[in-house]
Amino acid sequence: MTAAKKATGKKAKKKTNVKKIKPLKCTSLPGVHDILPGEQSYWQQARKVLSDEAEEYGFGRIDVPIMESESLFRHVHGETSELYEKETYCFKNRSRDDVVLRSDFTPAIARAYTENGMVDLRKPIKLFTIGHAFRHERVQAGRCREFVQANYDIFGEQDPVLDAQVIQIAHRVLQKLGIKNIQFHVNSVGTRESRAHYRELLTAYFESRRTKLPSKYRDMIDTDPMRIFEATDDKTMQVCSGAPQAIDHLDKESRDHFKNLLEYLDELDLPYMIDPALDRGINYYTQTIFEVFVIDKDGTRHALGGGGRYNDLVESLGGEPTPAIGFAFGVDRLVAEMRRLKAKAYMPPEPRVYLAQIGDLAKKKSLRIFSDIESAGILVAESFGRGNLKEQMEQATKMKVDIVVIVGQKEALDGTVILKDMHTGTQETITSDKVVCSVKDALKKTVKVSKIK
């Protein structure tokens, strides 16, 4: 027997070694960010205005998956496009399927329209969505790798009045969010046929000036010459300034469509300018394209969103020929601009009733009372974690509530509550089964008193 066993008369306990877990210091990935409670009022206001406008203009809500088939986005955006080639998140799932995280909503919405037989619905079909999208962009001001986008799309009508309407909706949203100094840039890229002809002219032009272009743009001449217009260096921009413009090579249908659109915009008195160099860099656009900017005092422009027609997209996905137009806002950019301007944020409704409780039994009873008052459509505040009545009454005073419902130990045992009018200081004791009716009556009286004042 060991010395330890002899001394205690008991078996010695086996010592267990518990491995200490090293804390993980974790931060968010580049290009993504948290939206903290203090920022949510601006986000709530943006979401509310976007959704309210959609409802007012008759848009139905649609939600599409965050993940889609890689072939959809490769087909829609084009294999050589900047958006697909460098910015789209592509990966294989565990079933070895090729999957993408949506980089924009339009391909997914067009796929949903085609797949779900929406062609049989009464036209025009108006769809609204808001949600997260992903692009592997260089992280910089105004550009995130995970961002929130809001889309308005209309299917089934070719009339340019709808082009004007979506621009009007965009303008109304910005006005209601308090964003000023807005300017729309509009252009037309024509039909698929005239766009193909224009591309041939553009290729020939850039080919004749190949030696004047930096090497990274020379490879685009044959694959995607319109991407050269995205250049920001002086040398390339100088070459681009002499390039043929799409608006000068439109087919008659597109010219008439664009002319009618401009007349509608003039009638609506919307702030726009024709921008012949505008090309949104996405292959599915036909005819009308536009972007909306906010202009700083120094003339700096910040893009907030844009869109255009995509009359061939549904047909390219196996559906019937379907004219369509849509636009999107970057909600992150809207919120950033609202904060910069200190625009109006969302103000949640304030509670007029506060529920105070003292002691464990009162806390249990208060849970049911709180639920009953809330179920009656009355907004009520509480602080169940606090047991000090003085602290709770101080909080109720700060919140400027009209009525405080108090449940103490005695009231919990008696099945009663105390109703205190915070304006007059008077209070009464009632049975807990009458609390909802009594609170409603008390609130009506406080409204009458305030009106007399």
For residue range 399-450, list pLDDT tens digits in order: 999 999 999 889 989 999 999 999 999 989 999 889 999 999 988 887 544 4
HSE, side-chain direction, 13 A CA sphere, residue 17: 1
- Among residues of the chain, what percentage have pLDDT more than 90? 49
In a domain, 258, yes or no: yes
In a domain, 317, yes or no: yes
In a domain, 385, yes or no: yes
The CA angle 291-177-132, to the nearest 5 degrees, is 65
Q: Give the domain CATH number at 396.
A: 3.40.50.800
Judge if 307 and 379 occupy the same domain.
Answer: no
The residue assigned the tokens 């193909």 is 196
In a domain, 197, yes or no: no
| Domain count within the chain | 2
- The SS3 assignment for 287 reads strand
Given a cut of 70, whether residue 453 has pLDDT beyond it is no
For residue range 166-179, list pLDDT tens digits in order: 999 999 999 999 99
**pLDDT score at 387:** 64
In a domain, 153, yes or no: yes
**pLDDT score at 28:** 86
Judge if 165 and 265 occupy the same domain.
Answer: yes
Give the domain extent around 47.
Answer: 37-191+251-341
Q: Of 316, 341, 366, at which residue does a domain stop?
A: 341
**pLDDT score at 451:** 42
The pTM for the full model equals: 0.80
Span 354-365, average pLDDT: 88
- Average pLDDT over the chain, rounded to whole? 88
Q: Which residues pair with 421 in a beta bridge?
A: 403
Judge if 289 and 424 occupy the same domain.
Answer: no
30-44, 107-121, 318-332, range with the lowest pLDDT: 30-44
**pLDDT score at 449:** 45
In a domain, 402, yes or no: yes
Residue type, 175: Q
Judge if 133 and 256 occupy the same domain.
Answer: yes
- Give the pLDDT band (50/70/90) at residue 293: very high
In a domain, 348, yes or no: no
The residue assigned the tokens 């919990």 is 412
Given a cut of 80, whether residue 3 has pLDDT beyond it is no
**pLDDT score at 6:** 52
Judge if 361 and 333 occupy the same domain.
Answer: no
User: 101 — phi, psi (to 5°)?
Assistant: -90, 130
Judge if 321 and 395 occupy the same domain.
Answer: no
Q: Of 285, 320, 341, at which residue does a domain stop?
A: 341
247: nearest Cα among 189, 171, 304: 189
Judge if 328 and 399 occupy the same domain.
Answer: no
Q: Of 287, 306, 341, at which residue does a domain stop?
A: 341
Span 302-309, average pLDDT: 93
Judge if 331 and 370 occupy the same domain.
Answer: no
**pLDDT score at 163:** 96
Return the higher-pLDDT residue of 248 and 150: 150
For residue range 196-235, list pLDDT tens digits in order: 888 888 899 998 988 888 888 888 888 778 778 877 788 8
Q: Give the domain CATH number at 290.
A: 3.30.930.10
- Among residues of the chain, what percentage have pLDDT more than 70? 93
Judge if 284 and 409 occupy the same domain.
Answer: no
**pLDDT score at 59:** 97
**pLDDT score at 45:** 94
**pLDDT score at 450:** 45
Residue 298 CA to residue 301 CA, distance in Å, equals 9
Return the higher-pLDDT residue of 249 and 148: 148
244: nearest Cα among 283, 198, 286: 198
- Give the pLDDT band (50/70/90) at residue 186: very high
Judge if 334 and 369 occupy the same domain.
Answer: no
Residue 72 CA to residue 105 CA, distance in Å, equals 12
Residue 407 CA to residue 416 CA, distance in Å, equals 8
Judge if 149 and 54 occupy the same domain.
Answer: yes
Judge if 304 and 385 occupy the same domain.
Answer: no
Span 240-263, average pLDDT: 90
Residue 369 CA to residue 358 CA, distance in Å, equals 14
In a domain, 220, yes or no: no
